[in-house]
């Protein structure tokens, strides 16, 4: 199953897609391996090395990057198929829900996000206790059955709202357990020296799925309705199941505690670990700041800017496409050549670049110009706005491709899924909070002010990262 928050993210993510939205430790040879993960120490600023966390090593300048392990590429291929199926199904669910009105569409979305947010920390504890692969196998099996049931129940012309809400609740609940497990897989399948490239390749794949998933969903809905999209997603779950059955990632679950209370204690232990570790704490705080300031720009503020400045819907789509193109190009370059030697500096530089892109968007001029159509709208502001979107995407991609390996590499092998769960929770919480506040501010003070505030907040987060010895030295 592809995760609905893998990056997502047209939305970049540091290890898991954001919106619907996407989350390594085997010997670093060029061929598939079934050996145990290396458990060498990783340096932390101002503190001793953590046991069980690998040392992230940059490639020597001019050296040819080592090939990614074949079993990681096999898993990533399955993930890509799952992402396309999921994106098509999410489009179909939204389309079916919109027939019942805006309130119903919001209810379906809430039915996904509420259980996912409420249960994700518990899901991370379950994956660390019983094994990420086992949790993913169960999750894909449940979703295979659920999508087949949905395909059969939605075969009629009118899909009941209750069925859509029930399907959304199942997706959200499975996501809560699947996301932390899936986010930890790169560390279990790839050596530490190739982790940045592995995550960048996953980021690029998420962008491709976001680009083609919705159009694929539209075609499937036109041909077979929600039932057709659900059947296609069921096929994708079957593909991922077959891939997972062939993989044996290195896992060493800790000693089991008894009962649900033990799981809750393990989830709390993951939070304490992240709060007490200087690198994890700084990385998660930076992730929250980026999620709150970056993610609402394209999804919320760009459509509002397009309406306020009379750019037209086509121009708004071009800005979103430019942002996705920027992320994709940077992720592809990092996947090919590797990231910067200092990942913390790369993440900070990405935020500063994204801040400049948001500022260009905020100050792009408005008003139509006759004779210069852009998909139904004539827009002088579209050219600088699209350029700003590209810069925003490139900065966001640079940030995600460098911070993701820091978070995943800093977590001990016994807490990989719990740290990924906390990462998902931080991103989701910051996004929900900032989206509501920015929407209200746009209604009361105009859309340019919240866009400028996002630019300032993103730039301030980048400068704070540069000023942090913990992030600057890694």
Confirm whether 26 is domain-assigned.
no
Are 328 and 212 contacting, i.e. CB atoms less than 8 angstroms apart?
no
Angle at 102 between CA 99 and CA 107, to 5 degrees: 95
Residues 288 and 237 in one domain: no
Predicted local confidence at residue 33, as pLDDT: 35
Residues 317 and 392 in one domain: yes
Residues 348 and 209 in one domain: no
- Where does the pLDDT of residue 370 fall: very low under 50, low under 70, confident under 90, or very high at 90 and above? very low
Residue 102: which domain range? 67-250+257-266
* pLDDT, tens digit, 9 for 90 and up, residues 275-292: 999 999 999 999 999 999
- Where does the pLDDT of residue 465 fall: very low under 50, low under 70, confident under 90, or very high at 90 and above? very high
pLDDT (average), residues 34-61: 40
- Where does the pLDDT of residue 308 fall: very low under 50, low under 70, confident under 90, or very high at 90 and above? confident
- Where does the pLDDT of residue 46 fall: very low under 50, low under 70, confident under 90, or very high at 90 and above? very low
Residue with the larger pLDDT of the pair 30 and 77: 77
Share of the chain above pLDDT 90, in %: 54
Are 50 and 38 contacting, i.e. CB atoms less than 8 angstroms apart?
no
Share of the chain above pLDDT 70, in %: 80
Residues 226 and 294 in one domain: no
Residues 339 and 374 in one domain: yes
Model's pTM, two decimal places?
0.78
Strand partners, 44: 47
Confirm whether 297 is domain-assigned.
yes
Give the chain as a 3 state SS string: CCCCCCCCCCCCCCCCCCCCCCCCCCCCCCCCCCCCCCCCCEEECCEEEECCCCCCCCCCCCCCCCCCCHHHHHHHHHHHHHHHHHHHHHHHHHHHHHCCCHHHHHHHHHHHHHHHHHHHHHHHHHHHHHCHHHHHHHHHHHHHHHHHHHHHHCCCCCCCHHHHHHHHHHHHHHHHHHHHHHHHHHHHHCCHHHHHHHHHHHHHHHHHHHHHHHHHHHHHHHHHHHHHHHHHHHHHHHHHHHHHHHCCCCCCCCCCCCHHHHHHHHHHHHHHHHHHCHHHHHHHHHHHHHHHHHHHHHHHHHHHHHHHCCCCHHHHHHHHHHHHHHHHHHHHHHHHHCCCCCHHHHHHHHHHHHHHHHHHHHHCCCCCCCCCEECCEECCCHHHHHHHHHHHHHHHHHHHHHHHHHHHHHCCHHHHHHHHHHHHHHHHHHHHHHHHHHHHHHHHHCCHHHHHHHHHHHHHHHHHHHHCHHHHCC
Predicted local confidence at residue 14, as pLDDT: 43
Predicted local confidence at residue 317, as pLDDT: 82
CA distance 87 to 229: 10
Residue 26 has pLDDT above 60, yes or no: no
Here the CATH number for the domain that contains residue 465 is 1.20.1250.20
Residue 167 has pLDDT above 50, yes or no: yes
CA distance 54 to 38: 7
Residue 457 has pLDDT above 90, yes or no: yes
Predicted local confidence at residue 252, as pLDDT: 59
Count of structural domains within the chain: 2
Least confident of 156-170, 298-312, 328-342: 298-312
Q: How many CB atoms lie within 10 A of CB 310?
A: 15
Confirm whether 144 is domain-assigned.
yes
Residues 191 and 218 in one domain: yes
CA distance 261 to 240: 32
Provide CB contacts within 8 A for 42, sequence distance 6+. Answer: 49, 50, 53, 54, 55, 56, 192, 409, 410
CA distance 236 to 367: 45
Residues 381 and 432 in one domain: yes
Predicted local confidence at residue 344, as pLDDT: 93
Residues 325 and 417 in one domain: yes
At 101, list the tokens.
């009105």
Predicted local confidence at residue 50, as pLDDT: 47
Predicted local confidence at residue 80, as pLDDT: 94
Predicted local confidence at residue 20, as pLDDT: 38
Predicted local confidence at residue 1, as pLDDT: 53
Are 301 and 357 contacting, i.e. CB atoms less than 8 angstroms apart?
no
Residues 196 and 327 in one domain: no
Residues 285 and 243 in one domain: no
CA distance 68 to 78: 16
At 67, list the tokens.
């090939």
Residue 38 has pLDDT above 70, yes or no: no
Task: Single out the residue in 241, 266, 291 at which a domain terminates.
Answer: 266
pLDDT (average), residues 307-313: 81
Residues 243 and 110 in one domain: yes
Confirm whether 2 is domain-assigned.
no
Confirm whether 40 is domain-assigned.
no
Predicted local confidence at residue 215, as pLDDT: 87
CA distance 67 to 173: 36
* pLDDT, tens digit, 9 for 90 and up, residues 245-254: 998 887 655 5
Residue with the larger pLDDT of the pair 319 and 140: 140
* pLDDT, tens digit, 9 for 90 and up, residues 372-387: 444 444 445 578 899 9
CA distance 233 to 222: 16
Least confident of 70-74, 96-100, 140-144, 389-393: 96-100
* pLDDT, tens digit, 9 for 90 and up, residues 197-231: 999 999 999 888 888 888 898 899 999 999 999 99
Residue with the larger pLDDT of the pair 463 and 91: 463
* pLDDT, tens digit, 9 for 90 and up, residues 57-91: 444 445 567 789 999 999 999 999 999 999 999 98
Confirm whether 226 is domain-assigned.
yes
Residues 313 and 262 in one domain: no
Confirm whether 4 is domain-assigned.
no
Are 451 and 305 contacting, i.e. CB atoms less than 8 angstroms apart?
yes
Residue with the larger pLDDT of the pair 173 and 365: 173
């Amino acid at each position: 199953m592809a995760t609905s928050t893998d990056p997502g993210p047209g939305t970049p993510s540091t290890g898991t897609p954001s919106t619907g939205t996407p989350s390594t430790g085997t010997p670093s040879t060029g061929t598939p391996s079934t050996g145990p993960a290396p458990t060498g120490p990783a340096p932390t600023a101002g503190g001793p090395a953590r046991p069980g966390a690998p040392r992230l090593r940059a490639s020597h300048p001019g050296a040819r990057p080592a090939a990614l392990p074949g079993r990681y590429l096999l898993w990533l291929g399955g993930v890509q198929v799952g992402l396309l199926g999921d994106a098509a199904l999410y489009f179909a669910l939204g389309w079916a829900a919109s027939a019942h009105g805006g309130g119903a569409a919001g209810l379906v979305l809430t039915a996904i996000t509420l259980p996912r947010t409420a249960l994700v920390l518990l899901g991370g504890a379950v994956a660390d206790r019983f094994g990420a692969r086992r949790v993913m196998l169960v999750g894909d099996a449940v979703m295979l059955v659920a999508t087949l049931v949905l395909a059969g129940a939605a075969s009629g012309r009118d899909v009941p709202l209750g069925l859509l809400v029930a399907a959304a609740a199942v997706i959200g609940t499975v996501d809560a357990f699947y996301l932390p497990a899936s986010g930890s897989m790169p560390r279990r399948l790839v050596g530490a020296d190739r982790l940045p490239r592995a995550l960048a390749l996953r980021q690029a794949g998420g962008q491709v799925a976001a680009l083609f998933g919705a159009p694929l969903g539209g075609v499937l809905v036109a041909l077979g309705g929600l039932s057709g999209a659900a059947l296609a997603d069921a096929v994708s779950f079957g593909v991922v199941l077959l891939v997972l059955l062939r993989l044996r990632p290195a896992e060493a679950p800790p000693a089991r505690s008894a009962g649900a209370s033990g799981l809750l204690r393990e989830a709390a232990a993951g939070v304490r670990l992240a709060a007490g570790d200087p690198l994890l704490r700084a990385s998660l705080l930076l992730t929250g700041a980026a999620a709150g300031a970056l993610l609402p720009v394209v999804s919320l503020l760009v459509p509002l800017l397009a309406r306020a400045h009379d750019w037209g819907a086509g121009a708004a789509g071009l800005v979103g496409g430019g942002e996705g193109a920027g992320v994709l190009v940077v992720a592809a370059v990092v996947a090919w050549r590797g990231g910067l030697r200092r990942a913390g500096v790369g993440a900070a530089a990405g935020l500063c670049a994204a801040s400049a892109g948001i500022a260009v968007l905020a100050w792009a001029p408005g008003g139509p110009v006759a004779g210069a159509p852009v998909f139904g709208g004539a827009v002088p502001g579209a050219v600088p706005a699209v350029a700003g979107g590209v810069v925003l995407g490139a900065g966001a991609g640079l940030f995600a491709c460098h911070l993701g390996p820091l978070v995943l590499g800093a977590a001990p092998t016994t807490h990989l899924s719990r740290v990924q769960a906390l990462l998902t929770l931080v991103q989701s919480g910051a996004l929900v909070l900032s989206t509501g506040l920015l929407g209200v501010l746009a209604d009361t003070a105009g859309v340019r002010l919240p866009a400028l505030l996002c630019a300032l907040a993103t730039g301030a987060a980048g400068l704070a990262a540069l000023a942090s010895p913990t992030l600057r030295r890694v």
